[in-house]
Structure 1
Amino acid sequence: MIDKKIIQKCIKGKIFDDSSERNRKMLHITLTRKSDLVVVCPATANLIAKFSNGYADDLASTSLIASNKQILFMPAMNVEMWNNKINKKNVTNLQKSGVEFIGPDYGYLSCGEIGLGRLSGDNKILQIILNYLKRSKKLQKKKCLVTAGPTLEPIDAVRYISNYSSGKQGFEIAKQLMLVGANVTLISGPTNLQPPPKIKFIEVLTAKEMNEAVRKNLKTDVAVFTAAVSDVSPKKTMTNKIKKEKLKKIILKKNPDILRNISLNSSIKPEFVVGFAAETNNYINNAKKKLITKDCNLIVVNKISKKNNVFGSEFNQVAIVDRNEVNKFGRMTKINVAKILVNKIINNFEK
């Protein structure tokens, strides 16, 4: 192990080790909250395994578990260690959780062997870190509104109309917007998800409540409407349970079209509006139609099928449609879908 005093001579800033937390309770929380980015360099097979499996038994691993920032791993190890199936499984698990890996590179290794496992070069690592730090402020001072989850429309005291939306995609978009410096408001129907940190979170139940919450929080630069809002609701809601023999007909009424009502009103429309669509047939044509009729900047569309059953899943397969082109993407994590969308939003403000 390198002596702490030697490292201190080489860098500017503070150095912490396991002993540091003895006199500073919750140091692992403080360090991650005060940082803009978390970089693990070099990332050993041991630390990758610990983080992948939720171990937190020292300052480094505890800080990783506690982090609410983007995490970068710079792996360095023997080629066989890197290619080991267990290590590969751990790497994949972390990537699914949003951790990004830089390297390893191919070349001479410290053990004397040659192969994939070499730490990426200093200049490459430095440039990537600088790029991420710049990205963490790309939407600074921008206000962003995100809707997520389903809405529930009560029929009586025990029944309701709803859909399969889990809210995962919307919550991840809110998180990624927060990570690039935006001031985020997340309005969500009922889910089992923990809202991302450092955002304003508003929970609603019905389409009517979501419509009201959106209108109250519309002083925003960007609006991303991922929520699966119920199209209809019972015209009359019973306070008692309707007996099944009397449950013969439910009279429905249309719910407000939140996206359309906001986008077509120039006095309240945000600068950049993203709509979401879930389609089973003619999904690109339907997305193009929705883009025009609801005057959005982008439509993100899912083609719902047995191969792409996105509800409740950590994965999604989408196409992003704008006025000029259609970008189709393969199956990826909802985290990566969110990152792609956020990059498109950033590009809009950098034109």
Structure 2
Amino acid sequence: MIFSRGRKQDPVVEFWAWWPTIRPAVTAAISTGGFEPLTPQISKRVAAMHKDLTWEFSKGGEARHALVVSPGGNPALRALVARWGALAPAADPEWEFHTARQPDHDTLSASIEIAGAKLDLEQLRFAFTRDEDSAAIDVVGHHPLFRKLPEPVRGQITFLSLDWLLGEEGVELWIGAVDFSADEPAGARDPLELAAAVDALREEYREPKWVVFSGTRRGDPVTGLAQRPLRAARWPRFDTHVAVTLQYSGRNGDGLPSDEALDALRAFEDGPLEAALHGDGEMVALETSGGARTLHYYVDGESAAGDDLTAAAGGWPDGKAKVKRAHDPGFEAVGHLS
């Protein structure tokens, strides 16, 4: 007897093939409130993509309703969710689709019950300061009832409130350190003032910026460039770090490249290496020291960009070229540059 092996089904593709079959029932259930029988079906389909994904229905921004499937703060799931969003149908007046929880300012005017306490979220306040070096805003959350709540619950309320205020993506892109305090911190303000500060920061970086840095490493001068904001959420598909290190022979006395070597490096970066990405990667930072330049790329790990970068690096004519590749959805390899 001959057995045929079926091809493994793609749960993301299957989700979108299934969605039209349940969409009318979901739309009706949102209107009537009889949603409970549908929840297990939706949860099963989302879990088939990954068990740690989160999902919710919410009011849409342009459409009446929104379906949100989110990585739930897990950077390892961003690429999967980005693919889910890329395959979503076009938004229409009834439904739109998002890969992160959207801002919901109405919730911040409501009361919630948590850990046996009822909190009026209108009493929530945030103290915040701008971190100029990382293009981020550091935040301290406060509510008068924090004195009566255990620390984990204070943190939960603070992070949930930031999501409602800014949306998950806004928090990931523009918020730096997050703390919470039982005592009202100096400079505590209404949450909408924090939202306005984030809007101003977002506007300032509407066009991505590069920052120049310099220092020393093991006694040698180091110079470099890094994009700001250098946050993984800017490039959710690009989950793989590819470090391309190019040695150069033309050095100044401090080990940095001569003008001729610098021109050659830039031409190679802008030519063969950039062409190897074909839209599936981004160079986010570079470091130069001791006769070598390391370019930090992040690529879509399911694309050919990593292989093509490796092949292109082999064409560097002025010294050795080394390539290291690692799955790094949290951008940990460039954390020291962020």
Query: TM-score with structure 2 length normalisation?
Result: 0.27
The structure with the greater share of residues assigned to helix is 2
Query: TM-score with structure 1 length normalisation?
Result: 0.26
The structure with the greater share of residues assigned to strand is 2
